């Protein structure tokens, strides 16, 4: 199969140029006016949505309040030895009580959109059955406060915090969990879609299913490859059933998508052969999640590789999994460098050398071009209607200076370079409509606890005081200028 036309390949590899006038910097000035259009070599299209993202368990706290039931992350973080320092999300950023002030802070820096997630067990404490209206009311208040501040809410329905009661019944190993998720998703969409236009079913399926094969995330189990393939199938099925339930319950005009951390295949050198290899790799490497959601079938190579461990499925499930989406959300942090190989597969993913530059998480290797290539290849291979970058950001070992500021120039460096590459993609016509920086506040970084900070606001977890970092000022300027210069 030819993924690229000759013309596209030439565009990508030879003359990867948008209209020359747009690209050419104007000597000595950042901007020049022409026919009343601002030509700025570093700007984004008018209406580009600048946002920030967070998730319920990482920021809310109030773990035991107003009828919330426990989730697998409460259980996991309270199990000795599971998280750094024994940290939990019991209090986190206390956003449950402080959301009004935080939304004011968002407004004051010009943030246009906020991506938050809903804690399933706050709304339905046991995962199925009785609805906890107090939990629902909290999200109603959050949405109202966002709208009042002129901030567009983007709502994720599942960001890893499965109700513990459902885990006790098998969690994602049980197909019933998919049905429970769809019921919950429909319920929330019915309640919020009069004011929330954008819903994402799930965040990073590959990350939360990894909790069934490693000890670093909830539920911290060790299942067989066959069981992993089957439970991952249940998760993508839950996504598809969720899409249908949201559409059935939501007001007209509601847009539905997913936030996925696709394997971000990036050609190691920008030549035609490596670009082609990266395009092949993005389909194959995302076989069990993004590819099946886009195409409604598992690639042959994936099923062959698994052999007897392949998931069981039927045709109707496959149609459900591939329910059409209004947008796709991509979480992009790192590159996976690909080069062409003389093998049946046609490509190989290169390992990172030990000395490769990273941010303050061992997995967070730096490769700004990932924010060009991931949306570019996704657009090329699957042609989604719209793309949002639903997460991008960096961890750092931040500390307050004696003057009480945080000079996180590492994070500023990271963001500036990644955004340059996003701008490159958008300028070439890749349909990216917005960007959500992870994260507005330092927060509970899962098994890494509070040690690895991702916020553009520093949080003193003893006092809950928020202090803007230099990166908050950087981002404020990006938003204000709708670009990098
Ligand atoms: C994402 N990796 O997680 C999540 O969506 C957030 O909840 C999280 O806080 C954020 O990124 C920063 O970590 C990831 O190992 C965690 O490649 C780990 C990886 C990727 C994403």
Task: Identify which of 292, 291, 288 has the alpha carbon closest to the alpha carbon of residue 279.
Answer: 291
Asked if the model's pLDDT at residue 32 lies above 60, the reply is no
210 CB within 6 A, ligand 1: no
443 CB within 6 A, ligand 1: no
pLDDT band, very low/low/confident/very high, at 17 (cuts 50, 70, 90): very low
Task: Identify which of 38, 11, 71, 16 has the alpha carbon closest to the alpha carbon of residue 421.
Answer: 16
8 CB within 6 A, ligand 1: no
Asked if the model's pLDDT at residue 449 lies above 60, the reply is yes
Give me the mean pLDDT over the 156-180 stretch: 99
Q: What is the 89 CA–ligand 1 centroid distance (Å)?
A: 16
Q: How far apart are CA 425 and CA 448, in angstroms?
A: 32
- pTM comes to 0.93
Give me the mean pLDDT over the 316-325 stretch: 98
% the chain with pLDDT above 70: 92
User: Would you say 402 and 354 are in contact if contact means Cβ atoms under 8 Å apart?
Assistant: no
Q: Give pLDDT, residue 38.
A: 47
Asked if the model's pLDDT at residue 13 lies above 70, the reply is no
Pairing of strands 113-117, 49-53: parallel
Q: Give pLDDT, residue 96.
A: 99
Q: What is the 35 CA–ligand 1 centroid distance (Å)?
A: 44
**Lowest-pLDDT choice from 23-27, 47-51, 306-310, 397-401:** 23-27
260 CB within 6 A, ligand 1: no
Summarize pLDDT for 67-121 with one digit per residue, the tens. 999 999 999 999 999 999 999 999 999 999 999 999 999 999 999 999 999 999 9
Choosing from 207, 262, 394 the residue with most ligand 1 atoms within 8 A of its CB, the one to mutate for a pocket test is: 207
Q: Is the dihedral of CA 73, 74, 78, 83 positive or negative?
A: positive
Which residue's CA is the nearest one to ligand 1's atom 2?
363
Asked if the model's pLDDT at residue 22 lies above 60, the reply is no
Q: Give pLDDT, residue 227.
A: 98
Q: Is 97 exposed, middle or buried (0-12, 13-18, 19+ CB in 10 A)?
A: middle
Neighbour tally for 152: CB within 10 Å: 17
Q: Give pLDDT, residue 151.
A: 99
pLDDT band, very low/low/confident/very high, at 203 (cuts 50, 70, 90): very high
Ligand 1 atom with least separation from CA of 204: 5
Q: How far apart are CA 384 and CA 256, in angstroms?
A: 12
Q: What is the 117 CA–ligand 1 centroid distance (Å)?
A: 14
Q: What is the 415 CA–ligand 1 centroid distance (Å)?
A: 16
Q: What is the 9 CA–ligand 1 centroid distance (Å)?
A: 32
**Is 204 annotated as catalytic?**
yes
Q: Give pLDDT, residue 4.
A: 52
208 CB within 6 A, ligand 1: no
Ligand 1 atom with least separation from CA of 363: 15
Greatest distance between any 2 Cα atoms in the chain: 65
Q: What is the 29 CA–ligand 1 centroid distance (Å)?
A: 38
% the chain with pLDDT above 90: 91
Which entry of 285, 380, 391, 445 is annotated as an active-site residue? 391
Q: Give pLDDT, residue 390.
A: 99
203 CB within 6 A, ligand 1: yes
Which entry of 60, 204, 255, 369 is annotated as an active-site residue? 204
Q: Which two tokens stand for residue 433?
A: 């409509």
Q: How far apart are CA 177 and CA 183, in angstroms?
A: 10
Q: Give pLDDT, residue 39.
A: 55
Asked if the model's pLDDT at residue 7 lies above 70, the reply is no
214 CB within 6 A, ligand 1: no
204 CB within 6 A, ligand 1: yes
Summarize pLDDT for 352-386 with one digit per residue, the tens. 999 999 999 999 999 999 999 999 999 999 999 99
**Is 317 annotated as catalytic?**
no
Asked if the model's pLDDT at residue 19 lies above 50, the reply is no
Share the mean pLDDT of the chain: 93
User: Would you say 219 and 171 are in contact if contact means Cβ atoms under 8 Å apart?
Assistant: yes
> From the centroid of its chain, how far is CA 44?
20
Neighbour tally for 46: CB within 10 Å: 8
Q: What is the 324 CA–ligand 1 centroid distance (Å)?
A: 26
448 CB within 6 A, ligand 1: no
454 CB within 6 A, ligand 1: yes
């Amino acid at each position: 199969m030819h993924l690229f036309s000759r013309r596209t390949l030439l565009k990508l590899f030879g003359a990867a140029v948008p209209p020359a006038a747009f690209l050419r910097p104007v000597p000595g000035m950042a901007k020049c006016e022409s026919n009343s259009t601002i030509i700025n070599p570093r700007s984004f299209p008018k209406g580009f949505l600048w946002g920030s993202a967070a998730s319920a368990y990482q920021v809310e706290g109030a773990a035991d309040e107003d009828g919330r039931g426990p989730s697998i992350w409460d259980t996991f973080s309270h199990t000795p030895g599971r998280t750094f320092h024994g940290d939990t999300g019991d209090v986190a950023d206390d956003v449950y009580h402080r959301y009004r002030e935080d939304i004011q802070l968002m407004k004051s820096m010009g943030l246009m959109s906020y991506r938050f997630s809903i804690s399933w067990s706050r709304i339905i404490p046991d995962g199925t059955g009785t609805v906890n209206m107090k939990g629902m009311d909290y999200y109603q208040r959050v949405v109202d406060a966002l709208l009042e501040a002129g901030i567009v809410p983007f709502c994720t329905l599942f960001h890893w915090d499965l109700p513990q009661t459902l885990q006790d019944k098998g969690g994602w190993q049980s197909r019933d969990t998919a049905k429970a998720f769809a019921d919950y998703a429909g319920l929330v969409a019915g309640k919020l879609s009069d004011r929330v236009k954008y819903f994402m079913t799930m965040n990073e399926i590959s990350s939360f299913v990894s909790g069934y094969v490693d000890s670093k995330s909830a539920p911290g189990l060790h299942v067989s490859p066959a069981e992993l393939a089957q439970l991952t199938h249940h998760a993508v099925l839950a996504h598809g059933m969720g899409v249908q339930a949201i559409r059935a319950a939501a007001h007209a005009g509601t847009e539905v998508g997913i936030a996925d951390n696709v394997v971000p295949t990036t050609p190691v050198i920008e030549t035609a052969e490596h670009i082609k290899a990266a395009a092949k790799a993005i389909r194959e490497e995302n076989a069990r999640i993004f590819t099946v959601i886009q195409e409604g079938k598992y690639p042959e190579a994936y099923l062959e590789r698994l052999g007897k461990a392949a998931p069981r499925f039927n045709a109707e499930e496959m149609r459900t999994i591939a329910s059409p989406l209004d947008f796709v959300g991509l979480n992009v942090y790192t590159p996976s460098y690909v080069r062409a190989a003389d093998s049946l597969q046609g490509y190989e993913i290169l390992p990172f050398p030990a000395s490769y530059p990273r941010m303050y998480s061992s997995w967070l290797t730096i490769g700004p071009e990932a924010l060009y290539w991931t949306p570019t290849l996704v657009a090329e291979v699957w042609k989604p209607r719209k793309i949002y970058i639903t997460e991008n950001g960096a961890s750092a070992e931040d500390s307050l200076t004696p003057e009480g500021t945080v000079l996180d120039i590492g994070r500023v460096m990271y963001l500036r370079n990644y955004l340059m590459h996003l701008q490159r993609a958008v300028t070439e016509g890749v349909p990216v409509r917005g960007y959500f920086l992870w994260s507005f506040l330092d927060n509970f970084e899962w098994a890494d606890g509070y040690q690895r900070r991702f916020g553009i606001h520093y949080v003193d977890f003893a006092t809950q005081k928020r202090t803007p970092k230099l990166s908050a000022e950087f981002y404020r300027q990006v938003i204000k200028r709708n670009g990098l210069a």
